[in-house]
Structure 1
């Protein structure tokens, strides 16, 4: 290798060392399921937003941020066939969940365990449980309505998976406090619970007025389809939320995990996740091909449930560009050109 002449002066620019932008993968083109919107979307969404604003007592700038969330539109795409009553419960839950997610980002592990105790007891007995926590009061509000029609199986699944959510959120809080970034395998396991997807899948049954038996819900093919759905929704969300999260030094994100573990640059990590997302859609379809039969009546209900999982995949992808949570007001432009300009990091 020839040595450089001593007179050469090399001046670096920022772009030599740091990426200032990355290209989003075209995840929507990979997800060919039909996108439908519940006809009650807008009146229910607006009523649910008002419920959350009243219940959470948000103040600016959180009110403006919340009004850009459009969780009602996500709900309407994920539960397009629900009647207005059931859609409203699902919408209240999702508005509550996104706010809970933001609150927990500021909690330590002890605070998260306290929130878990409050919310789980509200789910166990929404009528009689006592709490001063606003989050707990909102749980009582939507879950007392859930229990009017929710079957015993899906009620239990909802509570169990919400418990998993809080347990994983407490682990995330510990990692945040110690600056620990988990390895990919541990991260994937934890992220399947911090995503909050699992309780949303129980709401598919609730919204459709079905209650699938344990022999169906514990079947490996159904569990594999749920996991594939959770992975697509969650891993794509890590790509979409990366920019906002990196600006606030948050490391609970698959992009960060992959860059650390595999030594990838930013675009390399994003492209790696893109391939994983394609793989999760393929896993979903491969398992659909080997779905067993449980008899005509149950098979109809299983088909409704599987369609609900599809709705979650396609609905969440499109909604990610409609909400201001990830791309501000530029979502519709970014949906087309897929170019993300990195936000500056906040001072620590």
Structure 2
């Protein structure tokens, strides 16, 4: 994701906007959406797992059940068997929960959670902890370890560590009231989005373990980064309304562009929409120059690239099916693309 100077108008209107129009993201992303046949039984079982582990109470139960993280998982891993899909679904439900929990943690608290969770990943059977987040890691990662290859496992743990480090940076910026410049924001956001461990799960569900020289190849890395950037950019657009309403809008590229470049809201949204389109094209440009590593490795790489493609299209559709960003209005907004700004919530 490059950050060129936007060429849109930088005129700030006198009156604050009451709505904005989403870019036509679906015209730019025409990959097929597939849903795993085990979606609904696995999703419901995974939701029950999280409710049992966390002892949530209302209204958090209703909010969690509206998330539909299992449906996102089923769209991103459409060919997984029920066992592997369940592990991924448990991870996804945990991941959304930890993302929300970390919003309340300071730097030390974030690193404390990081240390426990990484220890749980390293030895999910023998590591002992009373921290809820790490106990949940032990639950799903002990099952992950039953079939995962060593390379896939190491990639998952390493990228989870990057997530926690970036979350600590975000907590520090939040505490100090720092506003990041565009380049710094992009760097940190690529890890706070939390999608890189999900790419390791592509290998896990397919029961492949790509060689290090393959996953470190510049073309593969470029396709991973383009995928991650499409997810991040579109998420910043789709989550902006909720975030600006609850006063957490500065960890969002729309707010960064408006602050740093002086763009109005619609211009910032359109600019990010163009970046989404550019990154999908970058993904395709690199697909066209994939090298060959021999028949068997090429077969595995094709599975992995298909998995990245699923991760481009799956979250986009899920964002309108989930209640997380648009409440009950997701399907209508998906059609008309008009997002009416929510009022600012009073600070607690």
- Structure 2 residue matching 1:149: 3-state secondary structure: coil
Question: Match for residue 100 of structure 1?
Answer: 98
Cα distance in 2 for partners of 1:211, 1:44 equals 24
Question: Match for residue 168 of structure 2?
Answer: 170
Report Cα offsets for 1:266-300 as digits up to 9, x if no partner: 10100000010001101100111111000000000
Cα distance in 1 for partners of 2:264, 2:21 equals 13
Cα distance in 2 for partners of 1:329, 1:159 equals 35
Cα distance in 1 for partners of 2:147, 2:170 equals 34
TM-score by length of 2: 0.95
- Structure 2 residue matching 1:340: 3-state secondary structure: strand
Cα distance in 2 for partners of 1:170, 1:217 equals 27
**1:187 aligned to 175, 185, 193, which one?**
185
* Matches for 1:192-203 after TM superposition, within 5 Å: 192-203=190-201
Cα distance in 1 for partners of 2:135, 2:90 equals 12
Question: Match for residue 335 of structure 1?
Answer: 334
After alignment, is 179-188 or 77-86 more displaced?
Answer: 179-188
Question: Match for residue 129 of structure 1?
Answer: 127
* Matches for 1:269-280 after TM superposition, within 5 Å: 269-280=268-279
Tell me by how many angstroms 1:121 deviates: 0.3
Structure 2 gap segments, 5+ residues each? 1-12
Report Cα offsets for 1:132-182 as digits up to 9, x if no partner: 111111000000000000000000000000000000000000111111111
Cα distance in 2 for partners of 1:42, 1:241 equals 25
Cα distance in 2 for partners of 1:127, 1:110 equals 26
Cα distance in 1 for partners of 2:51, 2:199 equals 25
Cα distance in 2 for partners of 1:343, 1:243 equals 6
**1:60 aligned to 58, 61, 65, which one?**
58
Question: Match for residue 69 of structure 1?
Answer: 67
RMSD of aligned alpha carbons: 0.8
Question: Match for residue 10 of structure 1?
Answer: none
Cα distance in 1 for partners of 2:260, 2:285 equals 29
Q: Which has the larger radius of gyration?
A: 1
Question: Match for residue 5 of structure 1?
Answer: none
* Matches for 1:169-318 after TM superposition, within 5 Å: 169-250=167-248, 251-318=250-317
After TM superposition, what 4+ stretches of structure 1 lie above 4 angstroms from structure 2?
A: none
Cα distance in 1 for partners of 2:187, 2:295 equals 34
Cα distance in 2 for partners of 1:181, 1:290 equals 38
- Structure 2 residue matching 1:116: 3-state secondary structure: helix
TM-score by length of 1: 0.95
Cα distance in 2 for partners of 1:49, 1:63 equals 10
